[in-house]
Chains A and B, each alone.
Chain A
Amino acid sequence: MPGPFALFKWQAVLRDWQVFAEGFGMTILVSVLALVLALVLGILFGMMGTAQTKPLRYLNRIYVEFIQNTPLVIQIFFLYNGLPYLGVMLPVFWVGMLGIGVYHGAYVAEVVRAGILSTPKGQFEAAYAQGFSYWGAMRYVILPQAKRMAYPPLTNLAVNLIKNTSVMAMVAGGELMYHADSWASSNLYYGPAYIITGLLYIAICLPLATYAKYLERRLEVSS
């Protein structure tokens, strides 16, 4: 009796490997670009969160709270189906990259803010005493120290970001999950399709997660 995992279904997956490879490539590309965007936004807004000027801190709170308290699915859906009504038709690749990048940027901002706050206040005072401006002290004294604290949680965020690219499947994004859904729902060989897809996600996420563990351990030793 051919169950969901019958041999001929596995053979079909292997025969159509290009479908999965194409999606996998897209997932990696979106992940890398979204990660860069998330880091840039996160560092910028993270520093704003610890700034002395109130408007900057407010800006940080608005961004972080708004993004963290709405589901990614709705944000993506808005970018895809909402913006066209305002005359902005972003290609689906941009929808994915911007949506996922901006979403994770908020989380990165919180990690960066925590990293800065965990740096002893004396470091700031010492930097000021040496004639550094606020941004100068940030750039050369505080951030290099905050970086060490922030690395392990940032790596975990990167893992989450990769997994979250799968929301693009909802808007025909052409990444791994979309191709898996499309392939599996046409021939209904869903068993092997989703196992292979899961394994491909593990293949990129597990090394990153292991790297995070390693960084954490190193942090414990050095502090």
Chain B
Amino acid sequence: MKKLVMLVLSLIMGLSLVFAAGCGSDPAPAASSAGGDAPDIKAVKDRGVLKIGVKVDVPKFGFKDPNTGKVDGMEIDLARALAKKILGDESKIEVQPVTAKTRGPLLDNGEVDFVIATFTITDERKQSYNFSDPYFEDGVALMVKKDAGITDLAGLNGKKIGVAQSATSKQALLDEIKKQNLKIDILEFGTYPEIKTALDSGRIDCFSVDGAILAGYLDDTTVILPARYSPQLYGVAAKKGNEGLTKVANDTIADMKSSGELDKILTKWGLK
């Protein structure tokens, strides 16, 4: 019994040490030393492959084709461009599926170098992760059933809206609901298909997320309303401290913007 107590005590002490280390708020060391690569870039080069967290349930951005099993989309193209920039070969990427819940932890524990997963930049999130300059801008939109006859947010008064577990669309809607003095319930689900299922079964009256993502879930029974709320900016996220990676992401996005490459990719995926 005594031994057990000792073990538990030492475990707690060990853990608190780890936490304390995590709590320290000393500024990140200067990332790039003159001349050579930053350590985070070097780690990628040594490994020879760029590890990217992407969505697999968002058509056009990152979507796993159920027939071929291949993940493809605008954000995968962006990942290839990053791999080309860092490793000189656009095929050297290793994609890993992420969700709103897993993308943060996967960055923190180093499982992925970048997360490119319809990740909206917010001030709160910037405290935890490095975000690149935005590569896409979109507004929150509403999808309803055709036969419901709803044409605007006010038409959803007293009804339920389903959103994904990520506050940006929720907050945007809450602001708008407050402005129009409406009473609408907002329910959160883990993944987009779950929200669509809930809309189909009538559990919710509206599926709301960024317009371009929503477009991937449009079918014969549903319609997307024209209104857009609070623009969402998507950025490439990296772990805090990996300043070198963020710089590469910024450079790549800037290059792609000026060369028209980014527009080309957006057009290719029907996002423009």
Q: Which residues of A contact B (CB under 8 A)?
A: 1-9, 80-82, 84-85, 89, 169-172, 178, 181-182, 184-191
Q: Tell me the bound Cα distance from A81 to B23 in angstroms.
A: 43
> Count of B residues near A, CB < 8 Å?
39
B201 with A85: CB separation less than 8 A: yes
The interface residues of chain A lying within 8 Å CB-to-CB of B147 are none
The interface residues of chain A lying within 8 Å CB-to-CB of B198 are 80-81, 171-172
Contact with A along B136-165 (1 / 0, CB 8 A): 000000000000000000000000001001
Across the two chains, which residue of chain B brings its CB closest to A188?
A: B104
Q: Tell me the bound Cα distance from A110 to B144 in angstroms.
A: 46
The interface residues of chain A lying within 8 Å CB-to-CB of B180 are none
Q: Tell me the bound Cα distance from A171 to B197 in angstroms.
A: 11
- Given the known interface contacts A1-B24, A2-B25, A81-B198, the answer about A184 and B101 at a Cβ–Cβ threshold of 8 Å is yes
The interface residues of chain B lying within 8 Å CB-to-CB of A182 are 165, 188
B201 with A81: CB separation less than 8 A: yes
Across the two chains, which residue of chain A brings its CB closest to B162?
A: A172
Additional 6 contacts, C-beta under 8 A, given A5-B22, A187-B124, A188-B128: A1-B22, A1-B26, A2-B128, A5-B18, A6-B128, A172-B189
The interface residues of chain A lying within 8 Å CB-to-CB of B18 are 5
Interface SS, A side? helix
B201 with A186: CB separation less than 8 A: no
B241: CB under 8 A from chain A?
A: yes
B188 with A172: CB separation less than 8 A: yes
- Given the known interface contacts A84-B202, A181-B165, the answer about A186 and B170 at a Cβ–Cβ threshold of 8 Å is yes
Q: Which of A8, A85, A169, A182 has the most chain B CB within a 10 Å cutoff? A: A182
B125: CB under 8 A from chain A?
A: yes
| List of 10 A-B pairs having minimum Cβ-Cβ separation, nearest first | A186-B167, A3-B22, A172-B187, A188-B104, A185-B165, A84-B201, A5-B22, A81-B201, A7-B23, A185-B100
The interface residues of chain B lying within 8 Å CB-to-CB of A189 are 128
B188 with A178: CB separation less than 8 A: yes
B108 with A4: CB separation less than 8 A: yes
Q: Tell me the bound Cα distance from A169 to B128 in angstroms.
A: 25
B125 with A181: CB separation less than 8 A: no
B101 with A185: CB separation less than 8 A: yes
A-B contact pairs, 12 of them (CB 8 A): A4-B105, A5-B18, A7-B23, A80-B203, A81-B197, A82-B201, A169-B190, A170-B189, A171-B189, A172-B187, A181-B165, A187-B128
A186 with B241: CB separation less than 8 A: no
Contact with A along B10-26 (1 / 0, CB 8 A): 00000000110111111
| Partner of B167 from A7, A8, A169, A187 at Cβ < 8 Å | A187
The interface residues of chain B lying within 8 Å CB-to-CB of A6 are 22-23, 25, 128
B96: CB under 8 A from chain A?
A: no
The interface residues of chain B lying within 8 Å CB-to-CB of A7 are 23, 25
